[in-house]
Amino acid sequence: MKLLEVVGLEAGYGPTTVLRGLDFEVAEGGVTTLLGANGAGKTTTLRAICGMIPVRGQITLAGQRIDGRATEDIVRAGIAHVPDGRGTFMELTVEENMRLGAYTRRDRQIRPDFERMFGYFPRLKQRFRQQAGTLSGGEQQMLAIARALLLRPKLLLLDEPSFGLAPLIVREIFEIMRRINSEDGVGILVVEQNANLALSFADRAYLLETGRIVRAGPADELGRDEAIRRAYLGY
């Protein structure tokens, strides 16, 4: 069963076409990665899925068409986006940022979810009343992920979660994301420049070049692909 299915996705900015007909999927409970060089169209793909830019083609989440819908509807349908730059409100506290994460929830039962987030990210509990701007880069990434999870999504979109972070903290964050995937069954679509990291985390992978998918398959298979190894893995 597919959680996300994208068929013939085209999108761009004004007259400029960036995505030229992408087909890809995230399995139910799966982790998919989109790899590619700077400017290949990875960030644009996530924006297109979220309804932030106009699209052509079909995007289906758990059997429900979401292309052409407003971002807020797409969020309600079950997609949460952790954008590049993380989208944290620096002048607000950790608590306020987390409350904003739950803004579409009609129930008032967010406290147990906060506790669940503290289970994943104990540092957020320690920093709960602190301004987000005072957090380290890694803690800000944790806050951004926690905020997205408070929407109770079916699918989490992550744009370069490793960007600008030290290797140790990157490993910690990816280990937590693995738990989130396996314990909560949240599907993940992650865009990464760090191909090694992404291929070891994902079960399915796609390589993007100038808005087209040029390789697709199980992540371990792409990790053995000669061209990918030379261009992206450095061996």
Nearest to 125 by CA among 104, 142, 148: 142
Return the exposure string of 102-124: e unless at least 16 CB atoms fall within 10 Å of the residue's CB, then b.
beeeeeeebeebbebbbebbebb
Is residue 54 a contact point for ligand ATP (CB under 6 A)?
A: no
Give whichever of 101 and 211 is closer to ligand ATP, judged by the CB atom: 211
Is residue 42 a contact point for ligand ATP (CB under 6 A)?
A: yes
CB of 34 to ligand ATP, least distance (A): 8
- Residue 21, Cβ neighbours under 10 Å: how many? 14
Give whichever of 27 and 53 is closer to ligand ATP, judged by the CB atom: 53
Interface map 167-196 toward ligand ATP (x if CB under 6 A): --------------------------x---
Is residue 36 a contact point for ligand ATP (CB under 6 A)?
A: yes
Residue with tokens 């140790």: 168
Distances, alpha carbon 140 to alpha carbons 84, 136, 146, 147, 179, in Å:
12, 6, 10, 10, 19
Give whichever of 38 and 109 is closer to ligand ATP, judged by the CB atom: 38
Report the length, in residues, of the chain: 235
Is residue 83 a contact point for ligand ATP (CB under 6 A)?
A: no
Residues at the site binding ligand ATP, with contacts judged by CB under 6 A:
13, 16, 18, 36, 38-44, 193
